[in-house]
Structures are given as structure tokens and as C-alpha cells.
Structure 1
Amino acid sequence: MPAPSPAAERAPTLYERYLPWRRWAEAGYWLASISLSAIGNTITVGMELRRAGLPHHPAEPAIWEWTSNLVILALVPAIAWFTRRFPVHFDTWRRQLPWYLLASVAFSLLHVVGMVALRQAIYALGGDSYDFGDWPRQLFYEYVKDARTFLGAVLMIIGYRFVLRRLQGEASLLDAPDDDAPPVEPVDRPERFLVRKLGREFLVPAADIESLQAAGNYVNLRVRGREYPLRSTIAAIESRLDPARFQRVHRSHIVNLDHVAMIEPLETGDARLHLKDGSTLPCSRRYRAALRERTD
């Protein structure tokens, strides 16, 4: 009878229990948030129009608000991509600020064009026409509102990812001491990584890292079946790992040779690495020859 894998011997963490529901939770949040906003605004806009005695069709407040909010919902994936492409940190926010200002303008333009197009189509189906009004003045008015919406979505996404990293655990390199004392270990080739998780800190030996995978501006360190994001590029962290132990096997993957159980050749010329914990990694043909020399 085969021995249980390390992942089967431990109870799943809160983060691991959440993972199967993550996509549903994220989609559900945005759907619920957008729907509540559209419903609430429809009610308040209708009340304001009736209070002011302005002539309007009873369906118009709903058309205006739902077309606006549906376009915002469609732009949420673009905002999520943008925040991954231009991540904000305490030491980079000034450099990223111009990009976010430009993104807010692009968000507003896409929002306005999308909602006006939807409204014109809906009005045309009803045998009427929709007039957006004076475009320069209306664009400025919409941007004032859209900038707040964009900022709110960005803060929500960044805050959500921050919480996920805290649940998952976030790794960092050990810093050199502030004084003139020698470092505890070589800073240019660390033997341990500092992991912060739920307010606690612990050290992970570099030898325990099974593999590393690039993920945008982070590199995920896989340790005993768990992943800890490290803010770095895969090229930068590769230069600081022990070359006698770690081998680049793909443009997005580095493996600890001590944890490789088998190399499976593929018909494409690439290979699949089977690790001792049962997981697999891709190995591109570019790195396959060098890996074969290291493992023969």
C-alpha cells in the first residue's frame, strides 16, 4: 500500500478550504455588489425624478442604472488585470500613480461609450432615441463619478489580495542588519526565507523549497505542498539560489533537484517532471538537456 503524500497527512488550512470556492465567491461578490448598486440607484433616481416633477418613462431609471452598472461589471476583469500588471506597494505607489490616473481616464471612457451604446440600442428597440447631451460636459461629469468607482474597485481588489496573501503566507528574503554587524547568513545567496502568515513569522530553509513558479510580479515558493508568494521576478530569485541544488526547467519554473522523482519525456520534445510529493512540473526543451546532465 503506497504511503500517503505529505499533503494528505495534514489538515487543510483555511486558505486551502477556500480555494475550491474562490472563483464563485469572487464572481458572487461583484455580481451582488453591482446588482445592489443598480437596484438602489434605480429606486433613488426614480424618487428624485418624481419629486422634481420631471417627465420620464417609468422604465428609464432602470435602463440608465443597469446599463451603467453592467458595463462596470464587464470592466472588472480589466481592472483586476491592470492591478496585477502594475502592482502598488509602499515603495512603488508614486511610480505607479501616473499609470493609475491614465487607467481611470480609460475606464471612464470605456464606461461612457459602453453604457451610451447600450442605451441607444434599448431606446431604438422601443422606437425612441437616446440623447447623452453635451459630450464634453457629460464626459467630465461622468469622469468625476467614474474615478471614485475605479478607485473603489482598485482598493477592493488590492485589499482582497492582501488578505489572501496573509492567509496563504507571504515570503521574503532576510534583510541585512542595519548596523555594521555581519549578516547571519549570506544575503546574496540566502539559506532561509522569512515567511509571514497570520501575524506570525517563521523561517523556511531553502533546501525545503520544492519548486518555484513565476506569477506576475511574484514568485510562488512551494514548500511541503503549500505555496508562499515572494515579491520578485523569477530571474532575480534564480540568481540568488544555490545552482548546485536548483535548476531552471521552464521560463516560469525552477525545481529543487533533490525533490525530482522522475523525468517523463514527451513527444513534443518537452518533458514532464514528477516530484516526490506527487506533483508535476513542465520542462521545456530549452532546459531539458541541461536538466538531463544534472540528473544523470
Structure 2
Amino acid sequence: MISRHRFTLDDYLRWRRPFEIGLWAVSYVLSMLFNSVTAQIDHPALPAWQPWCWECSSSLLSLALVPVVIAVERRWPLRVSAWRQTLPLHLMASVLFSLAHVGGMVALRKLCYAYAGSHYDFGPWWRNFGYEYLKDVRSYFGIIATVWLYRLALLRLQGEARLLAAPDAGPPVEPIERPERFLVRKLGKEFLVNACEIEWLQASGNYVNLHVRGRDYPLRATMATIENRLDRTRFVRVHRSYFVNLDYLAEIEPLDTGDARLQLRDGAKIPCSRRYRAALRDRFGEAPITPARVAPVA
């Protein structure tokens, strides 16, 4: 009997990065094909390769700049509550985006034309750049809008963690400043996750991902905010972007660089920077760890 595996959210999350890269690549390739055919129809007197050269060069440069736009958005999130501070930064970034796009696009076209024994003339730079910028600024913010919608959809499917709020009336049943549980919302339902079940935490842009039994639940907070709410007897910082629950730490693997690699009980490996490695070792009263051996924690 042949068993059929049903594709689930866990399968997607396991291959999330290749899927994301593939979706961006496919979307730009399809756009390139449609735009090339349209440009060829609009310019029937020109050799067929020229409209294709225009659209392919533009799409390739735009695709190459997508990771840059995503990195900028992560560094300066364009949020409603702080749009006055971040919008000017993104407008300046959109100008740089357009300069890189147009400059690279023109360079590729010149190479393509030279290969065909012809010459490409972009025309008056500033006038034509203004025209290109009007298109590029829409592309820039279109990429950001696409990332927003994707994150919202993924959060709804995957689940998003929240800190418990104080009750409207009466004292809280547990300390709000040092929560014992986190509220997780997923597909319109809510459930509680015990803080002691969180295996490790990782900073990711505006969020801190809570890793619980193979799943990541994003919590809209910064590492500095969540650090003050964690139980210091259980959680220890091991990296600028990572906290570890000591109950789930299996061993410390020292590296020649002075850093270390931590292996958790579920097999996950996360980095431990030199800055935090000594403090982690002191928590267990161990002798100094040399690169020649792996020191088990439990």
C-alpha cells in the first residue's frame, strides 16, 4: 500500500528559505517574459532581441536587489507608529535602489548591444533617470508591501506569541513582569505556552522567535525587552541574537575562533559568541574548555 504524504505547514517551514527564493525568482521571470513580449509587440520595427534585452536587464537587476530591500526593511521597519522617522529613510533608500537598478541595467544593456555589434544609448541621464525612478519607487515599496502581506499570512498560519496583559479588574494571577506563560494566537484560536517549554529564543527583525517543540512562534518584541522578562535561573544569553533554556542544553562544542557551538536536546545547533561563552561556563562551574574536547553540560 502506497502512503501519500500530505504537504503541511511544517514541511513548508522546513524548506521555507528555498521556497521564498524560488517564489521571488519565478515571479520576476514571469514578469520578464510578459513584459518582453509586450515590448516586442509595441516595437515591431526593432530587432526582436532588443526589447528582450531591455526587459531582461531590468528584471535581473530588480531581482538581485530584492534581498537588499528586505534587509533595509528589517533594519528600519516601516511601521505606522514610527512612520515619520522611517519613511524618510526608505525614500532615500528608494533613490539608491533606483540608482543601482538603472546603473546596472544600463551596463547590462551596453554589454548586450556591444555583443550584437551595436551601441546602446540611454539618453539624457537625469531626465531618463527621473522617469525610471517613478517606476522604481513603486517597485521598492511594492517589495515591502509583498513582504508585509507574506508575513501576515505566515503569522496567521504559524501562530504568533503575545505577552499576557494585566487583567481589567483585580490583581493578575501570575507576575506580568516575569511571565510563566505566553499567549499564542493561531488561525483564530488562542492557547498558552509555558515559558519553561521554550527551548531557545532568536531575534529576527522586529520579532523574537520562541522555539517550542520544533515550532517557532514570533513575539513582537526586541531582545532587550524580552531579556528583562525571562527567568534568569533558566534562560541565559549566549549570543547577541540568542537565548537558551539551560534545561534543553545538551553540550558545548568549543571552536578555534574562541566562540562555541551549542547543541540542544532536539539536535538543534546555535552559536555562542566568545563574549557569552565564559559566563555560560561559569554557570556550571566547569574548568576552562579547550578546543580539543567537547564539554557536556548535562
**Under a length normalisation based on structure 1, what TM-score does the superposition of the two structures give?**
0.84
CA distance in 2: counterparts of 1:212 and 1:20, whole angstroms: 18
Amino acid at match of 2:41: M
Render the CA deviation track for 1:158-204: whole Å, top value 9, x for unaligned: 21122223332221212234x46433432222221111222221111
Deviation at 1:151, TM superposition (A): 1.9
Structure 1 residue 28 corresponds to structure 2 residue 22: yes
Q: Secondary structure at the match of 1:112?
A: helix
- Structure with greater contact order relative to length (CA < 8 Å, sep ≥ 6): 1
1:1-296 alignment, distance < 5 Å: 14-50=8-44, 55-177=45-167, 179=168, 181-264=170-253, 269-296=258-285
Q: 1:143 to 1:286 in 2, by over 3 A?
A: closer
Q: Which moved more, 1:182-191 or 1:111-120?
A: 182-191
Letter of the 2:108 partner, please give it.
L
Secondary structure in structure 2 of the residue aligned to 1:196: strand
- Tell me the amino acid that sits aligned with residue 47 of structure 1: I
Superposition deviation, residue 72 in structure 1 = 0.9
User: Residue 83 of structure 1 contacts residue 158 of structure 1 at CA under 8 Å; is this kept in 2?
Assistant: no
Structure 1 vs Structure 2 CA RMSD: 2.6
Between the aligned partners of 1:19 and 1:235, the Cα distance in structure 2 is: 27
Which letter does structure 1 place at the counterpart of 2:106? Answer: V
Cα distance, 1:286 vs. partner? 3.2
**Equivalent AA in structure 1 for residue 52 of structure 2:** A
* Alignment deviations for residues 103-141 of structure 1 (CA, whole Å, 9 cap, x no partner): 221111111111111111211222221111222221111
Query: Does structure 2 conserve the Cα–Cα contact (< 8 Å) formed by 1:15 and 1:164?
Result: no
**Alignment partner, residue 4 of structure 1:** none
Structure 1 counterpart of 2:23, one-letter code: Y
Q: Distance in 2 between matches of 1:130 and 1:276?
A: 60
1:270 deviates by 4.5
Q: 1:283 to 1:63 in 2, by over 3 A?
A: closer
AA aligned to 2:96 is A
Percent identity between the two aligned chains: 57
Corresponding residue for residue 296 of structure 2: none
Aligned pair count reads: 281
